[in-house]
Structure formats: structure tokens, C-alpha cells
Amino acid sequence: EQARSESRVVTLDLSDANSALDRASLMRELPHAIASGQLFLQYQPKVNVRRQEIAGAEALVRWRHPMRGLILPGDFISAAEECGEIAGLTLWTMRQVIADQQVMQAHGHDLPVFINISGVLLADDAFVAEACLIVKESQAKIGFEITETAVIRDPDSAIAHLQRFSEIGIPLAIDDYGAGLSSLAYLKQLPAAELKIDKMFVMQLTSSNRDPLIVRSTIDLAHALEMEVTAEGVETPAALALLSVMGCDMVQGYLISRPVALDAFIRFLDDEGHK
């Protein structure tokens, strides 16, 4: 037993060292990856429960690495934040979404697309100015998803910047609600019209005792604040049925669709239109 736990410690140390090494090399490679087209977006639909129609989409970034294959954002977003590439990555994402929305429109689909905005960017005046410019010039229907944790770092500046986004018509959604540092004080102050319940409360919704209580009271709280609620991580018909009874406005999750590349997303939208 002793030997086993020792070997486990050694393995853990090694993998930590490896991931630190990976991280450093990913950080070095990221600027080139953005410039040379290794990043791409996938889209995941958001469905209005009552109307049973697609209400919008979330854009999720992926990195097709020439040596390592597909890398998911969980493995490079925090590196991008650290090495100062997150503003460039996010501006690239915005421009790509605008181009993709034009392709969707050419296929008869006019949908708002939400983009994830890292907390560090809410303190970045240059990013905020550029993002506002891009949205104003393109007139694109782009929304931003932000976490409360992002706001807690520097509340005054973050709230002021979010106010600017809101004033020029960028809808804001509070992402991962309940998962990080949540504060009811910020919930009250943020100009967000949508609250997204984190998938950690949704994925075991119908097998847990507590999750349904948490989800229902969060939906009620959001509605009392006149916000719309999206549940993410909806994987089963039973979860969808329960969320519908609870009055959840929108759902997102593998049950409806995994995140998919633009061409597959357009096929999905085409098929939905024919149902």
C-alpha cells in the first residue's frame, strides 16, 4: 500500500512537470497559431424551451495543433490570458463570428451569437474600445458571456466596461452561475439580461436531491431580477422536461447538439427549420 501511494505521488509529479512544459510551449506557439489559422470556432445552439426554437448560439474556440491534434480551450485559454494573447484571440473570435454570421445569413439564418469574454479583458481599456468599434461597425448581433469571478477582480472598471457594452446594444449573459465566486451584490449591479446556470448543477439534475432545489431557486431569483435563464449541460430528455416545468427559458447541451463547426451548424439549422 505504501509503495503504491508513493508511486502515485511520483506519477503525479511527472504529469505536473509535463503539463507545465506543455503550457510554456503552448504559450510560445499561440501567437503563430492565431496568425496562421490554426484556431477555429464551433457553434452550439441555444434553444428557447417554450417556443421550441433556436434562440442563438455560443461560439467556442478550438486549436487544431499541427503536432498535438485538437486542443480544447480548457487547455489554452488560461495560457492565453497569462501570455497576453487573450485580447488578440478574442478579437480574432469576434471577427470570425461576424464572418460566419454572414454565411449563416446567406443560408437564411439570422441568429445572435455569444462569445466568451475572459475576466482579464474587462480591465483592458484597449480591448474594450476595439471590441465596441468592431460591433458598431459590423452591426453584428454579438453577445458576450462573462463570469462574476471576472467582475470581482476589479468591480468598478469591469462594471463600467460592461455598461459600455450594454449601451451599444451588446447583450450580456452571466456565465457559469453558481460555479465560481458568486455575489448577489454584483448580480444586482450587472447590466446582464441573461443568467446561465453552470452545467455542474444541471448534469445530474434528475439524479441528485439538491441540484433541483438549487436550479429552481436560481431560476426564480433570475426571474425576480427580470433576467432570462439558460441551463447549460442539458444531456437528457428528463433534465429538459424538469427544466421546462421549472420555467427555465433556454437550454443548451449535448441533448440538442454538441458544439459543431460552421457547416454542420448550418445543416443543423436547416434541419430544424424543416421540423
Footprint of ligand C2E on this chain (CB under 6 A)? 44, 60-61, 72-74, 77, 90, 93, 116, 118, 145, 175-176, 199, 232-235, 252-254, 259
Note whether 249 binds Ca ion by CB under 5 A. Answer: no
Q: Does 211 bind Ca ion (CB under 5 A)?
A: no
Q: 145 or 211: whose CB is closer to Ca ion?
A: 145
* Partners of 228 in the β-ladder: 194
Q: Minimum CB separation from ligand C2E for residue 157, in Å?
A: 18
Contact 228, 212 (CB under 8 A): no
Work out what residue 212 binds among Ca ion, ligand C2E, none; the CB cut-off runs from 5 to 8 Å by kind: none
Binding map of Ca ion across residues 80-119, x = CB under 5 A, - = no contact: ------------------------------------x---
Angle between helix 155-167 and helix 125-138 axes, rounded to 10 deg: 10
CB of 72 or CB of 213, closer to Ca ion: 72
- For position 175 contacting Ca ion by CB under 5 A, the verdict is yes
204 to 139, 211, 215, 246, 247: CA distances (angstroms): 39, 7, 11, 15, 18
- Using rule CB under 5 A, residue 145 touches Ca ion: yes
| Residue 257 touches which member of ligand C2E, Ca ion, none, C-beta under 5-8 Å by kind | none
Question: What is the distance between the alpha carbons of residues 77 and 70, in angstroms, rounded to a whole number?
Answer: 14
Nearer to ligand C2E, 12 or 72 (CB): 72
Partner whose binding site includes residue 171, from Ca ion, ligand C2E, none (CB under 5 to 8 Å by kind)? none
Is 194 an interacting residue with respect to Ca ion (CB under 5 A)?
no
Q: What are the residues facing 92 on neighbouring strands?
A: none
Which of 59/227 has CB closer to ligand C2E?
59
Number of residues that bind Ca ion (CB under 5 A): 4
Least distance CB 153 / Ca ion (angstroms): 17
Q: Does 124 bind Ca ion (CB under 5 A)?
A: no
Query: Nearest-CA neighbor of 159 among 169, 178, 172?
Result: 172
The amino acid at residue 220 is D
Neighbours of 51 (CB within 10 A): 10
Burial of 94 (0-12, 13-18, 19+ CB in 10 A): buried
Residue with smallest beta-carbon separation from ligand C2E: 253
- Only segment of 124-132, 140-148, 181-189, 239-247 that touches Ca ion (CB under 5 A): 140-148
Smallest gap from Cβ 120 to ligand C2E, in A, equals 9
Nearer CB in complex with ligand C2E: 214/254 = 254
Residues near 48 by beta carbon (within 8 Å), at least 6 away in sequence: 54, 55, 249, 250
Q: Measured at the alpha carbon of residue 213, what is the angle toward residues 53 and 236, in degrees to the nearest 5?
A: 40
H-only helix segments in the chain: 2-35, 77-82, 86-106, 125-138, 148-153, 155-167, 184-189, 211-224, 237-245, 262-273
> Is residue 176 part of the contact set for Ca ion (CB under 5 A)?
yes
Binding site for Ca ion (CB under 5 A): 116, 145, 175-176
